[in-house]
Amino acid sequence: MTRIGVLVSGGGTNLQALIDNEKAGKIPHGKICLVVASNDKAYALERAAKAGIPSAAVRRKDYSDQDAYDEALVSVLKEHDIEMVILAGFLSILGPRFIQAYPDRIINIHPALIPSFCGKGYYGLKVHEAALAKGVKVTGATVHLVNEIPDGGRILLQKAVEVQDGDTPEILQRRVMEQAEWILLPKAAEMLAEMIEEEKQS
């Protein structure tokens, strides 16, 4: 079974979707073994505690530079023998050192259909604000592998969500979570975990 580490920064709704899907037997090749928050007040840590999952907070401001922060994150993950990493609303930037420690083993969920509304500066509500400002009729979510380019890694899964008249960024954000993010992320987690298990066997 692939040991999964989930990196979070806030409320942890995507983490909850992963926990619920794992409980329901929908991630048979993976097990969430650690939750790491970039902020020690993140509600996601409560969710981890309720689910009996070990957790840690590793704050960017406690480290002098990106390399030191990456090093700290990698060492926490290695202590728990983590084989695969899921970014579930993780707002701190990851540097090359972290990405190289887990090549093709990090997935991220982005709340738009990449290549739209992605890259540097597009995160959280900003993505939905941009989609509404542009007047798009369809948005959605994308799960992709993480490389050195923000939102630039290979796309694993995408799902479209309709934009409705009268949507605010908050309403659209919620619909994208419910109709796309919470469905795609557990699916992608299972896809990658199964691939890792097959590689171990070969």
Catalytic center residues: 110
Sheet with 30-37, side-by-side order of all strands: 55-57, 30-37, 2-8, 84-87, 106-110, 138-145, 155-162
Phi-psi region for residue 16, left (φ > 0), alpha (ψ -120 to 50) or beta?
Answer: alpha
The closest alpha carbon to 50, from 29, 32, 25, belongs to: 32
Residue 167, strand partner residues = none
Question: How far is CA 162 from its chain centroid?
Answer: 22
Contact status, residue 112 vs residue 140, Cβ threshold 8 Å: yes
Q: What is the number of other CB atoms lying within 10 angstroms of the CB of residue 168?
A: 12
Four-point Cα dihedral 70, 177, 17, 109, nearest 10: -30
